[in-house]
Structure formats: C-alpha cells, structure tokens
Chains A and B, each alone.
Chain A
Amino acid sequence: MSETVIKCESVYKIFGQNAKKMLEESNGNVDAKTFQERGCIVGVNNASFEVTKGEMLVVMGLSGSGKSTLLRCISRLTDATGGKIFIEGQDLLELNNKELIELRRNKMGMVFQSFALLPHKTVVENIAFPLQIKGTNTEESISRAMEMVKLVGLDGRENYFPRELSGGQQQRVGIARSLAVEPDIWFLDEPFSALDPLIRKEMQDEFLRLQEKLQKTIMFITHDFDEALKLADRIAIMKDGIIEQLDTPANIVLNPATEYVRKFTEEVPREKVLIIEDVMDASSKDNLGDLKVSKDEIIENVAEKILTQEKLVGVVDSNNNIVGSIKPSKIIDTVFGGRKNGS
C-alpha cells in the first residue's frame, strides 16, 4: 500500500451564519432539509476518504452537488466547517496563514474551469507567476516557464496574451501554470468543461499522457461521467454534498451502491469500462483453448477475438501465469445483459 497523501475525516462544509453551532448540535447527523429551513446550505456532508500517492481520484457530480466545495475545502480556499483534513499527514485546518502559503507554493497546483488566467500577463508570465510569487528570480522563473510552455505544446505562443488564445490553449496555460512549481498534489476543477467536445477529448488524452509522465496525486472534478470513467483510478460520486459511492470505475458500473449511481451507469457501454479481470471466472483454470488474453485488457479490445472461440479463453497476468478463464458467452452477457444485474 502506497502512502496516503490526502485524507479526509468526516468533512463538513455548511454555509450560513450559525453553521458551526448547528453542526455541533446535530452530532454529525446532518440533514440538508432541516438545515435549509434554518437558513443554512449544506455544501459537503460527512465526506471521508483517502487519496494515495500517484492516484487520480475523480469527483463526479452534477452542479450543486458540492464537488467544487469539497475541492475548495481540501485546498483550503474555504475553511471546512467540521471534520479533519490531512495533507501528507499535516492537519490542514491547523496550519496558520504562513504555513498554508508555504504548502500552496510548494505542494499544490490547481486548474480552474474558467482558466482564471491573469489578463495582464502573457502566457509565459502567467506560467511563471507562481514561481515569481515564491521569490524565484526572473531569469530562472522564465526559463522554467518556457519548459512548461513546451510541455503543454504552446511553443511560439509564449508572448501571447490570454485573450489572444482559444479556450483549449488557455487551459493549457492554466495547466502549465499549476505545474510550474512541480506540485505533488494537483487539483483540477472541471478543467475541460468549458471546452468544445473535440478539444475536450484531445485535452483528456493529453492530460493522461502528462499524468503518465508526472505521476501526481490528483483530485479531478467533473460533471461528465464519461470523462470520469476515462480518467479515474477511483471515482467518487456526489449528490447533495454526500459521497454516494467511492470506488473503481468497474465496481461503480458493476455494483452501483445507490439508485442515483445506477442511473448514471445505465447508459455506460460496459465493454469500454470493464477489463477482463472484472468478468473472468477465477475458479476454473482448466480446459482452456489456445487463446490467452491479459487480465488488464479492456473488454472491447479483445471481445472480437474471444467471441470467435468455442472453448474457454485463458486469462493471464503480466507474468503470463494463468489466473482464470472466460467464456465467450460471458462477453455477450456483459455487453448486452449487464443492465439486468445493475440493480
């Protein structure tokens, strides 16, 4: 088990005047409705989870579900009303202003939905901004920023102003800026939501490429379930401030915890999400045919091959040891019949 980077213990965020008092009185049993009657709005309700090093946790929810609020609690852009948040073992809420600034300068990077670039600075100045804030000298910060410009593929545009760039390019600047200080923890708040579908896909692919290279600990906010499935190591689905389910994409699709989650998974093409390991039969390893497939393969990629077989297909792990088998009919079941066992 790799080390925990972000750890939340029953985090609450309640907006309103007497929020803190009301939370204490409620003993952790927060009901959004009663709070609303008394003039408080519940943003995050009893969120507990951990994110380990190099993991990408995607928080998914519709607008108003509290996902952005949760992110802002963890980056302490807003103070949580209750609960504890640990960043690499440090209690975030106990940090004083100076320590908080230090933490942000060295450990955290954040990307925003509306890009939030500084309009008066050029691309390279925007990217160098966090470095200059830290006190890095101009020459060094600009040369580091130029590296970032190359990393996100904006070479030749370093002297443009944000207003002269397209949305996708602006978000590249946003991404480069958040990475300039080489943070360990990377927050992304709906980074691709404001982009066109084609650009969004391109940016997602690029993002995966970057993450493969950088291996940051990531919290990624989105309202797009497909995006969540595509990117996530684990997904947290939020509704009304409550985390409905937190699991791997496959588990969410296969075993939705609540009715709300099930609705999301209904339309999801399983063969694109599930891997062989999720549907294989680990108990029977005999009577195998010639074909072997890797357990990490996504079903869609090998479905055609498996379906042409008549015998059981062997499933192997990365060391080529057989770990299970799969029937061709199981594939058909998964793709077409999955909706039955969804409840």
Chain B
Amino acid sequence: MEYLKKYPKLFQWFFLLIVFFALCFAIDVPETYKFIRGQAEFVKDPNQSVYFFLGKEVRYYAFDVFWRLPPLLGWLPIWINDSLFFLMNEWMPMEFWNEDTQEFKTRPLLLEISRNLTSFMTFLIELIREILLGGLETIVAFTSWDFIDAYPWLELPGLPWTIVAAGAAILSYKLSGKGLALFAGLTMIYISIFGQWKPSMQTLSFILVAAPLSFIFGLGLGIAAYKSKRVEKALYPILLVMQTMPQYAVLVPALVLFGVGDHAAVIITMVVAVPPMILLTILGLRAIPPEVIEAGRMSGCTNWQLMFKVLIPTARRDILIGVNQVIMVCFSMAVISAFIGAKGLGFNLLLALNQLNIGLALEAGLCISLIAILLDKMSLAWANKQTDYFGNLTFFQRNKNLIFFVASFVIGIILAYVGTIIFKGSFNYLFEIPHNKGISTADFWNKGVDWIFDTFFVYIKAFNTWLIQDVLQPMRALYLRMPAVATLVLAVGAGYLVGGVRSALVVAALTLFIALSPWWDRALVTLYMATFGVVISCLIGFTVGTLCFQNKKSAAFMLGVCDIFQTFPSFVYLIPVMMLFGITDTSVLIAVIVYATIPATRYTIEGLRSVPVGLHEAATMSGVNKFQRLTKIEFPLAFPHMMLGLNQTIVFALFMVIIGAFIGTEDLGQYILKALSDKNGAGIGLTLGICVAFIGLIFDNLIRTWVGKRKKHLGID
C-alpha cells in the first residue's frame, strides 16, 4: 500500500492496463468476423446492414459494438467526393472568355480558377525547363503556333550541360567557396555522364518553381499569423493535421482539382511544404527579443522595414530550417508526385522500382539525393552570405563571377558547336547526353543484387521467415485482436492520465474518428507496423545518440549524417531494402526503421547536449562516474527533449509505413494507393489521410502534453 501512496500515477496506469486486458479477454472475436475485409460499400451482400445519411448509402457488416464500432462515418468519403465533384463541375457557373474559340463559354467558377492556376504553374515550369532543356512551349504561350511555324529559330535551344554545370559551380563558389563549388560541379558532371540529365533537369525545374513558391507562401502566411492572432487560430488546426498527414494522401484530391501533370504536382507540393514553413516562421518571429524590435522601431523603421530588415533577418535561423524543410519536402514530393504524372527523376525511379530494376532505381535515387543536398547547402550558404564594404576591389574582382560565367557560357556554346562536328550523325555529347546513352552502372548494381541474393539467399530468407512468422504475424494478430472498446478505453485513459480531461477528450475524438471510419482494421495494421518501427528505431536511435554524445566530434559527425540522410527523399529509402529483402513486409519495416531512426538519434544528441554545463560540473564534483552521470543527471534532464524526438519518430515511421504500400502492405497506405487509380478516390484518399494524420496526432497530443508538464516540473524553459 505504501507504494500506492508513493506512486499514485503508477498505480493508475497499472489499473488502466488491467481494465484494458480485461476488456480484451472479455470480448470474443465474433465467429463470422473476417479481418481486414475489403471495403463493404463495393460489395453487395444480403448480410450487410445499410443506413442512409445525407442521401448517401452506407453498407457495412454489423458486429457487436464492443468489438467493432459500425462505420458511422462511412458516408464521409462519398460525401467529400460528391462535394468535390459538385464544386468542380456544377457550382457557380459563369461566363468566361475563351481565347482559342473566341467566344464566351459557361464554366463553373472553381474549374476556371483551377484551369487558370494550372496553366500559370505549367507556364512557370515550362519556362525553366525550356531554359535548361530547350523547347517551344514558352514562345508559343506568348505568341501562337503559327508564329513559331513562321519563325522556327525562335525555339529555345536549351543550355548545353557544360554551361549549367559551370553555372552551378560558379554560383556555389560565390555563395560558399571552393568546397561547395567542387561538389556542385561534380554532381552536375555525374548527372550528365550517367545519362540522367534530362530527368534531372525536369525535376530541377519542378523544384525551382515549387520551392520558392512554397517559401513565399509559407513566409507570408507565417507573417500574417504572427501579426494576427485570428489568422493563427484559423491556421493552427490545419497546420497540425498537415504535419502528420502522409504526403501520399494529398495526391488524390489534387488529382480531382488540378488534374494530372507537373502543375498539379507543384500545387500539391506547396500544400505539403507550406505548413512547416509557416510553423517555423511563426516560431522564429516569436523568439525575437522584444528589445530588438524596439531598437528597430527607434531606428525609425516603417512596418515594412521592420519586418524585412529587422524581424525576418533576426529570425533567420528558424526561417532557414523552414527553407531546409521546404527543400526536403519538395524533393520528397518530386518522387511521390510521379504518381500523378510529374516528369523527371521521380518518374524514372518509380518506373525502375516497378520493374524491380534496382540498379536504375539506385542511379535515379542517387541523382535526386545529390541535387537535394546541393540545393540544401546552397540555400544555407545564400542565407549566411555577407557583403564586404571595405575591400577596394577592381572591376574585375567585383565582377569576376559574372565574367567567369560569361566565359564559360561562351566556351560551352563553342564546345557544343564543336560537338556537332565531332559527333556528326550521332548524339552531341557536349550538348546533352541522352538518357540511355550515358554510362550506366545499373547492370553492375543489378548483378550485385543478384549476387547478394544468390549468396545470402538462405540467410536472408531465414531471417525474413523468422521475422515475419515469429515476430510480425503474432504482433499483427494481437493488434487486430483488440476490441474497439478496449482500444478506446486505453487511449482515453492514457489521455486522462497524461493531460487530464482536456487531453482525454481530444484523444477520444481523434480515436473515435478512426474507429467510426470503415477502415479500423487497416488502421490497426498501420499502427502495428509503425509501433514495431518506432520501438526498434528508438532503441537504435537512443543508443547511437548516447554513444555518439560521449565525444564532441562524433556527436557533431552524427548530426551531420542525420542532416544528409534527412535530405534524401523518403522514397529513396525503399531502394536498398528492396535490394536486400525483395518485396516483403520486412523491406518496408527496415525502411521504416532506417528512416525513423534519424529523428530519434538527432533528438537524443540534442537533448543530451542541452543539459547545462553547470550541472555537469556539479555532478562531477559530487563524484559521479560517467555512467552515473548519464543515468542520474543527463537522461532525466534530456528525457523531455528525447520524447519530442519520439514524436518525430512516430510521424516519420507513419510516413514510411504509408509509402511502404508501394511495396505492398495491407494497411491504410494500400487503400490510399488504390484511391489514386480510382476516379471516385478523392474522398477516400483524403479520409484515409486524415485517419493516418489522426493516429499521429493522438501520440503527438499525448507526448507534447507530457513533455510540457515534465519540462515545467523540471524547470526547463
């Protein structure tokens, strides 16, 4: 009894678990129950129950409500879908002038807006794409097809790859220095020689449109939210959901609204990339010391000057992290949006993965990753750039970068011209190396994969079988065996114990939404995969982080590694695991683990680092050894921050689990993927996405509440 008095919380948790297990044992699986049944609404079956809501018919198999709740929200995806259809095709028809047919045409407002938006995006992408690769769409957009027929020389020729490579190197040199210039040059040469030039430039043109637009919108909305509480309040829930929404899920509604192609990809990328930018902008602006703002005011700044010369530069650390995130998301989306027809490396990557051509996939993946790292570093260097007022520079010194660029431009064109003579009748390698004419290491990698398979097949197979049969299958069965009521009780109870009534209500609402959707079983499978991934990731991440923290250099090194890994588009992680484990759940889980270990490691190191030096010294003076210091001082203090890492780990794991559907899993992701090819999929895709987001938000709420309380208790910030 004394223990109970001493640790009342512990007792409460214990009690909660007892209730949970009691419920699990008390409620049996109904005999007719089939786990992970297909969507009921597509099957007609006399055993189904039916109800109507808002004029939508929902069919489902009824079971004991304690076991599985009826899908009372089953109408939602259909309703969303119909509403979207209505908005796009019937709502607010208006007369619009049509340039091509020279007459007024009646079109729904939203459709017209969408068409204008997409054509604007298409124009931007085409413009950059044609500067890099050549083409005539841009000219046509300003004039007409007849015009280009009359003056065919007006077609943009595209830049030879040598000029782009030199340009990238010179720009990198101007921004940062020799190191980055070398990296930029080598990256570009690599891309060109390996025949990835065209898809790379397509991807680049997509990103050069999507990233700046996302940045501008994110910054703008962030500023608006900073200035007005009302805007912030309106934005906040959307931001929260978008943070945990898998990028996949947004694709489907975009498909309906904006169609297929690069333009839709840009818009959807903005939808995904803008929220983190907004959040970080707000965060950065809020953290500015009030005296700096006053100093700006007293210097006589207008509001405009205050914002752009004082506030944003002062908050630039956080804003930069935002830019970094934007670039990360853009590359991630560059791959994912290949599903809705975006051209470029992502498309090649998906195609190669689909054909199980690991070598090709690896090359494309490497190119994307290299460009991602390059742009990331360049944006960082740009933000940190300083002007020197005192150098007494000559004209040449001041403009040497420009002069070098002009020189390399001329040389590049001469080379390209020389190329037409050397490579007469074949491809001009000095202009552009075609996709299939470069050096390809694909065969090498494919042979490597074959070799690995041949040599280690027995072991891999044994490991695979063991993992699936002895670990994953039982775990999955256990998760699915949970009655809905027991899960609800557990979630709400945890919410109450962590954050009181408020948290309990939030968690209850989020869980109920998922439970009342038609995909509860799938959500459980998603949850089981995510849990497995998170547990292993945290074990690895916390261990690696702690070990690396013992030494300053290794800690810095590890953070650098995390930075680079984080820049890789999430899809790239699937390549090596598919090399090793083929198309199995194991592959997905290993990708999940690798991907989710990044935040776990990072936050562990950062958390341990944030322990004040004074405490270290105090601990050392009390005569603790290294191990005691770690367990008694550093861990307890770093734990809240490490828990935030856990939060990120969960989000990362969920993303990867959903992406893993590409390999073939039976979770929510699979349905999202299915919805992509379904003409009525928009509602389903969106609702599924919200379900995944809510799983993330349940943990997010619990962890954040706990961390907040704990930090208050410990007196840190």
Does A associate with B in a complex? yes
- B389 touching A120, Cβ below 8 Å: no
The stretch that binds B, out of A87-95, A101-109, A238-246, is: A101-109
The stretch that binds A, out of B98-106, B294-302, B326-334, B606-614, is: B294-302
- A133 touching B301, Cβ below 8 Å: yes
- B297 touching A118, Cβ below 8 Å: no
Contact flag A124-B300 (CB < 8 Å), given A112-B295, A118-B314, A133-B309: no
- B300 touching A116, Cβ below 8 Å: no
Contact flag A130-B299 (CB < 8 Å), given A118-B292, A118-B313: yes
- A101 touching B289, Cβ below 8 Å: no
Contact flag A129-B291 (CB < 8 Å), given A119-B314, A120-B316: no
Query: Which chain B positions have C-beta within 8 A of A75?
Result: 298
Restricting to A104-161, which residues have a CB under 8 Å from any CB of B? 104-106, 108-110, 112-122, 124-125, 129-130, 133-134, 138, 142, 158-159
- B295 touching A124, Cβ below 8 Å: no
Is B3's beta carbon under 8 Å from chain A?
no
- B299 touching A104, Cβ below 8 Å: yes
Query: Which chain B positions have C-beta within 8 A of A120?
Result: 313-314, 316
B96 smallest CB distance to A (angstroms): 42
- A114 touching B289, Cβ below 8 Å: yes
Is B305's beta carbon under 8 Å from chain A?
yes
In this complex, what residue of A is CB-closest to B306?
Answer: A133
Restricting to B309-359, which residues have a CB under 8 Å from any CB of A? 309-310, 313-314, 316
In this complex, what residue of A is CB-closest to B313?
Answer: A120
Q: Mark B516-537, 1 if CB is under 8 A from A, else 0.
A: 0000000000000000000000
Is A77's beta carbon under 8 Å from chain B?
yes
Give the docked Cα–Cα distance between A174 and B292 (Å). Answer: 11
Query: Which chain B positions have C-beta within 8 A of A178?
Result: 298
B479 smallest CB distance to A (angstroms): 50
Contact of B300 among A77, A104, A117, A119 (CB under 8 A): A104
- A133 touching B299, Cβ below 8 Å: yes
Query: Which of B299, B310, B316, B388 has the most CB atoms of chain A within a 10 A radius of its CB?
Result: B299
Q: Mark A69-84, 1 if CB is under 8 A from B, else 0.
A: 0001001010000000
In this complex, what residue of B is CB-closest to A142?
Answer: B389
- B289 touching A159, Cβ below 8 Å: no
Is B386's beta carbon under 8 Å from chain A?
yes
In this complex, what residue of A is CB-closest to B300?
Answer: A105
Query: Which chain B positions have C-beta within 8 A of A117?
Result: 292, 295
Query: Which chain B positions have C-beta within 8 A of A181?
Result: 300
- B389 touching A77, Cβ below 8 Å: no
Give the docked Cα–Cα distance between A113 and B292 (Å). Answer: 11
- B390 touching A129, Cβ below 8 Å: no
Query: Which chain B positions have C-beta within 8 A of A105?
Result: 299-300
Contact flag A133-B300 (CB < 8 Å), given A120-B316, A138-B389: yes
Give the docked Cα–Cα distance between A108 and B297 (Å). Answer: 11
- A77 touching B299, Cβ below 8 Å: no
In this complex, what residue of B is CB-closest to A113?
Answer: B291
In this complex, what residue of B is CB-closest to A161?
Answer: B386
In this complex, what residue of A is CB-closest to B302?
Answer: A101
Query: Which of A72, A106, A116 has the most CB atoms of chain B within a 10 A radius of its CB?
Result: A116
Give the docked Cα–Cα distance between A109 and B297 (Å). Answer: 10
Contact of A124 among B291, B297, B389 (CB under 8 A): B389
- B294 touching A134, Cβ below 8 Å: no
B289 smallest CB distance to A (angstroms): 6
Give the docked Cα–Cα distance between A158 and B314 (Å). Answer: 19
Give the docked Cα–Cα distance between A77 and B316 (Å). Answer: 24
- A159 touching B300, Cβ below 8 Å: no
In this complex, what residue of A is CB-closest to B294?
Answer: A77
- A104 touching B289, Cβ below 8 Å: no
Query: Which chain B positions have C-beta within 8 A of A112?
Result: 291, 294-295
Query: Which chain B positions have C-beta within 8 A of A116?
Result: 289, 291-292, 294-295
Contact of B297 among A77, A121, A122, A158 (CB under 8 A): A77
A92 smallest CB distance to B (angstroms): 14
A56 smallest CB distance to B (angstroms): 19
- A77 touching B386, Cβ below 8 Å: no
- A134 touching B314, Cβ below 8 Å: no
Give the docked Cα–Cα distance between A77 and B301 (Å). Answer: 12
Give the docked Cα–Cα distance between A138 and B310 (Å). Answer: 17
Contact of A77 among B298, B309, B388 (CB under 8 A): B298
A27 smallest CB distance to B (angstroms): 32
Query: Which chain A positions have C-beta within 8 A of B310?
Result: 118
- A108 touching B305, Cβ below 8 Å: no
Give the docked Cα–Cα distance between A134 and B299 (Å). Answer: 8
Query: Which chain A positions have C-beta within 8 A of B299?
Result: 104-105, 129-130, 133, 177
Q: Mark B380-397, 1 if CB is under 8 A from A, else 0.
A: 000000101110000000
Give the docked Cα–Cα distance between A174 and B295 (Å). Answer: 9
Query: Which chain B positions have C-beta within 8 A of A104?
Result: 297-300
Give the docked Cα–Cα distance between A120 and B313 (Å). Answer: 6
Contact of B291 among A114, A119, A121, A158 (CB under 8 A): A114
Query: Which chain A positions have C-beta within 8 A of B309?
Result: 129, 133
Query: Which chain B positions have C-beta within 8 A of A133?
Result: 299-301, 305, 309
Query: Which chain A positions have C-beta within 8 A of B313?
Result: 118-121
B70 smallest CB distance to A (angstroms): 48
Query: Which chain B positions have C-beta within 8 A of A122?
Result: 386
In this complex, what residue of A is CB-closest to B316?
Answer: A120
Query: Which of B294, B298, B314 has the most CB atoms of chain A within a 10 A radius of its CB?
Result: B298
- B300 touching A130, Cβ below 8 Å: yes
B668 smallest CB distance to A (angstroms): 44
Give the docked Cα–Cα distance between A138 and B390 (Å). Answer: 12
In this complex, what residue of B is CB-closest to A141?
Answer: B389
Give the docked Cα–Cα distance between A129 and B309 (Å). Answer: 9
Query: Which chain B positions have C-beta within 8 A of A124?
Result: 389
B287 smallest CB distance to A (angstroms): 12
Query: Which chain A positions have C-beta within 8 A of B297?
Result: 77, 104
Give the docked Cα–Cα distance between A142 and B316 (Å). Answer: 24
Contact flag A108-B301 (CB < 8 Å), given A118-B292, A118-B313, A124-B389: no
Q: Mark A152-187, 1 if CB is under 8 A from B, else 0.
A: 000000110000000000000010011001000001
Give the docked Cα–Cα distance between A293 and B298 (Å). Answer: 45
Give the docked Cα–Cα distance between A120 and B385 (Å). Answer: 10
A282 smallest CB distance to B (angstroms): 45
Restricting to B165-224, which residues have a CB under 8 Å from any CB of A? none
Query: Which chain A positions have C-beta within 8 A of B291?
Result: 112-116
B540 smallest CB distance to A (angstroms): 36
Query: Which chain B positions have C-beta within 8 A of A114?
Result: 289, 291
Query: Which of A72, A106, A121, A174 has the most CB atoms of chain B within a 10 A radius of its CB?
Result: A121
Query: Which chain A positions have C-beta within 8 A of B305?
Result: 133
In this complex, what residue of B is CB-closest to A120?
Answer: B313
Restricting to B539-589, which residues have a CB under 8 Å from any CB of A? none
Give the docked Cα–Cα distance between A105 and B300 (Å). Answer: 5
A224 smallest CB distance to B (angstroms): 19
B389 smallest CB distance to A (angstroms): 5
B311 smallest CB distance to A (angstroms): 10
- A101 touching B389, Cβ below 8 Å: no
In this complex, what residue of A is CB-closest to B298?
Answer: A110
Query: Which chain B positions have C-beta within 8 A of A118?
Result: 292, 295, 310, 313-314
Query: Which chain A positions have C-beta within 8 A of B295?
Result: 110, 112, 116-118, 174, 177
Give the docked Cα–Cα distance between A104 and B298 (Å). Answer: 6
Give the docked Cα–Cα distance between A75 and B292 (Å). Answer: 15
Query: Which chain B positions have C-beta within 8 A of A187?
Result: 298
Sample (16) of A-B pairs whose CB atoms are under 8 Å apart: A77-B298, A102-B300, A104-B297, A105-B299, A106-B300, A114-B291, A117-B292, A118-B314, A120-B313, A125-B389, A129-B309, A133-B309, A174-B295, A177-B299, A178-B298, A187-B298
Which 7 pairs from chain A and chain B are nearest by CB? A105-B300, A116-B295, A130-B299, A116-B291, A104-B300, A110-B298, A112-B291
Contacts A112-B294, A119-B313, A120-B314 aside, 6 further interface pairs with beta carbons under 8 A come to A72-B294, A106-B300, A108-B298, A119-B314, A120-B313, A133-B301
A residues in contact (CB < 8 Å) with B = 72, 75, 77, 101-102, 104-106, 108-110, 112-122, 124-125, 129-130, 133-134, 138, 142, 158-159, 174, 177-178, 181, 187
